[in-house]
Chain A
Amino acid sequence: MDSPLLQVTDLTMRFGGLTAVNALSFEARRGEITSVIGPNGAGKTTVFNCITGFYRPTSGGIALTHPDGAVFQLQTLPGHRIARRARVARTFQNIRLFAGMTVLENLLVAQHNALMPNVASGLLAVFGLGGHGAAEVIAIDRARGWLDRINLLPRADDPAGALPYGDQRRLEIARAMCTAPVLLCLDEPAAGLNPRESDALAELLKTIQADGCSVLLIEHDMGVVMRISDHIVVLDHGQRISDGDPAHVRADPNVIAAYLGEGDEDDPDVPLAAASDGPLAAAS
């Protein structure tokens, strides 16, 4: 395919006097895992919020091209349309599950539009009409498949809020995948996971990629990023400071400077600074 899946052009986002994202351009290619990294406050989450319609960018364009050639200008669409029509799914830096609903229910809510294409069909469903029953059987099957993949099938009927942290992270990814996206945006999915869980997460992302869904990943865990990324974009102060494959980014003096410039050695949020022989060595 020639056109990239996601093309961000001159994206700028200002909050009052603060420019969180400054004339940022990058692209994410189809079938790849593209990572967005950068120090705290670099503007990564803000980029995600612009892509998924939670913020309206101050200026710039975000174009998403489907495999069938349809192009969506995401900066003009409201959030729920981006998820439904442009088929971009996301997770959140602070987990946003429906805590009081069961694991299974969480995955069914994600398939809302398949179960209820419009209000009329939603109302007909009350009287058992409009094919809701059949649609729900399919939806439950799909949910079951995902629960099996993330090893949560035995906990399907437990409230999502009662799951351990790592399980919640994986459930949020499964929930996003239940919307059948072409692009999955993950905001720090490995945050708070132990090394074993991080490995499992990396595996999961690889299988999602193998299934044909492209991934846009924000992550501070360089082990995960360097292992699974096809392409890395580095942000600092809202600007792109490096862009390329893992080997290129790891060697880029700009990146090393940005991470070291972040400050003190004992800042736990900067995982690279603690490595003994250079900031990005831990990943190799």
Chain B
Amino acid sequence: MNPILKDAGISALVALGLFGPMIGLKTEASATGLFLVPRPLALAAAVAAVFFGRLVLLTWRGRRPGRYRANRGLSEALKRSGRFLTPVLLAFAVVLPFISGRYGIDLGILVLTYVMLGWGLNIVVGLAGLLDLGYVAFYAVGAYSFALLSQTFGLGFWTCLPLAGLFAATWGVMLGFPVLRLRGDYLAIVTLAFGEIIRIVLLNATSITGGPNGIAGIPRPTLFGLQFSAAGGPDTFSGFFGLEYSPTQRVAFLYYVILGLALLTNWVTLRLRRVALGRAWEALREDEIACRSLGINVTVTKLTAFAIGAAFGGFAGAFFATRNAFISPESFTFIESAIVLAIVVLGGLGSQLGTALAAIVMIGGFEVFRDLAEYRMLLFGTALVLIMILRPRGLVSGRTPSVALGRRREISAELVAEGRG
């Protein structure tokens, strides 16, 4: 039988199994109870849509099913446009608070937080090739470090920011020591567990963290000691500059704080890629055994990747705490790790521009389609599947060499290893 027909037939069968209960049956409430109403037509339509959709897709691709190659043309187009896209995106990010209202700035803060988390995780997953499913743990450590330090010692945001990063990095090293002996799937599972452990400890250490009630009243950041409050007076922002107070000022300030932090992450990552440490990470991702034969201490090199990635997660966590003024373990569930990892994978492992685009598409898109209510998830899932079919190596695949004698030429994704832990 024609393999395309066969493939479409199997897809239709799977669809039948899935949609049978979901679309084929409908519950209807009546005075006497709940009724099951069969909907054979709707079911048939859905299955037929899958069958013909698959048929068209496979015929259009003109390839045998299951053999997808990285789509190079599009990748190169994106790469080339990256030269223009980067400054445009940056300029847009800088002027956003002036051209948009409160909602736009809030959305910008949310997206930038994920951009920063994505860039931080990119160091671990994209450069060093270590699959970390518990990145949210470091985000939580950063947030709680700041919250507890400010509550206990009355320290402000700017003092706590480096400390939060330091604590997160320390946790990164502590987790890394036992865990980095593991590879691939095992590493992923243990890091996942670590993320959950941190959350459950936060939930149960009630006397320190307040447990499920969380910590409230976390101080806001100040601009060189100037506060953002309606009180007026010379030590507030509006009072000092003689402006009329508006809450947007505070939000805009927060926006620039996270923009600065995200750009710092980006700058450090780009610098790291160009020096020996970053090159060793990438070499590790390519071939760990060869690294050892060249005298590279694999454990130490992996630990630095873990620690530096964790530090940026910690910075982002401290920012999260100061922005919300309230944190609880609920904000640090596995789904956060999954979203950040999805951003990194979708963007293209190791690509800074790709990660930023993926964060905008995923977080921004998710917010924009808020009106679609529960269909949002469906749309979101479909989009992810589509992107992974069309661009299995992420939006921006390929790798730019860190050094060159002549001109730097892009290395195609087929040659670049993804790392196995």
Q: Which A residues form the contact surface with B (CB < 8 A)? A: 52-54, 79-81, 83-84, 89-90, 92, 96-102, 104-105, 108-110, 112-113, 115-116, 119, 122-123, 125-127, 132, 136, 140, 144, 153, 156-159, 161-162, 175-176, 179
Contacts and interface: CB of A to CB of B under 8 A. Distances in A.
A112 B405 contact: no
Contacts, number: 139
A96 B286 CA distance: 9
A125 B277 contact: yes
Contacts of B412: 159
18 contacts: A80-B292, A83-B293, A84-B295, A92-B293, A96-B293, A98-B282, A99-B286, A104-B404, A105-B402, A112-B280, A113-B296, A119-B300, A119-B304, A132-B275, A136-B275, A140-B405, A144-B405, A153-B405
B272 A156 contact: no
Given A104-B403, A156-B406, A157-B407, A96 B279 contact: no
A101 B282 contact: yes
Question: Which 9 pairs from chain A and chain B are nearest by CB?
Answer: A100-B416, A83-B295, A84-B295, A115-B276, A116-B276, A122-B277, A98-B286, A125-B275, A96-B290
Contacts of B300: 119
Interface string B175-196: 0000000000000000000000
A161 B289 contact: no
A119 B275 CA distance: 12
Contacts of A115: 275-276
Nearest to A185: B293
Contact of B403 (A92, A108, A132): A108
Given A79-B293, A100-B415, A104-B403, 12 more contacts: A83-B293, A83-B295, A96-B287, A100-B399, A100-B411, A100-B416, A108-B279, A109-B291, A126-B271, A126-B275, A136-B403, A175-B294
A52 to B, nearest CB: 6
A110 B294 contact: yes
Interface string B121-154: 0000000000000000000000000000000000
B415 A161 contact: yes
Interface string B327-360: 0000000000000000000000000000000000
A136 B402 CA distance: 12
B283 to A, nearest CB: 4
Nearest to B275: A125
Nearest to A153: B405
Contacts of A54: 289, 292-293
Nearest to A90: B293
A116 B275 CA distance: 9
Interface string B258-297: 0000000000100110011101101100110111111111
Contacts of A179: 294-295
Nearest to B410: A159
The size bracket of the interface on B is 35 or more
A105 B292 contact: no
Contacts of A102: 401, 403-404, 411
A83 B304 CA distance: 21
Interface in B292-339: 292-298, 300, 304
Given A112-B294, A119-B300, A125-B275, A104 B405 contact: yes
B413 to A, nearest CB: 8
A136 B403 CA distance: 10
A52 B290 CA distance: 12
A162 B415 contact: yes
B417 interface: yes
Contact of A112 (B268, B279, B304, B399): B279
A175 B294 CA distance: 8
Given A97-B290, A126-B268, A159 B283 contact: no
A105 B279 CA distance: 8
Contacts of A140: 403, 405
A104 B286 CA distance: 15
A109 B290 CA distance: 10
A140 B404 CA distance: 9
A101 B275 CA distance: 14
B408 interface: yes
A101 B286 contact: yes
B283 A101 contact: yes
Given A116-B277, A119-B300, A123-B277, A80 B295 contact: yes
Nearest to A99: B415
A186 to B, nearest CB: 12
B370 interface: no
Contacts of A136: 275-276, 403
A178 B282 CA distance: 18
Contacts of A104: 401, 403-405
B83 interface: no
B409 A125 contact: no
Nearest to B285: A100
Given A101-B401, A112-B276, A122-B304, A157 B409 contact: yes
A53 B403 CA distance: 31
Interface in B219-237: none
Nearest to A128: B271
B279 A83 contact: no
A101 B405 CA distance: 14
A109 B416 CA distance: 16
Contacts of A153: 405
Given A80-B292, A80-B295, A96-B289, A125 B402 contact: no
Nearest to A156: B405
A233 to B, nearest CB: 22
Interface in B373-421: 399, 401-409, 411-412, 415-417
A104 B59 CA distance: 43
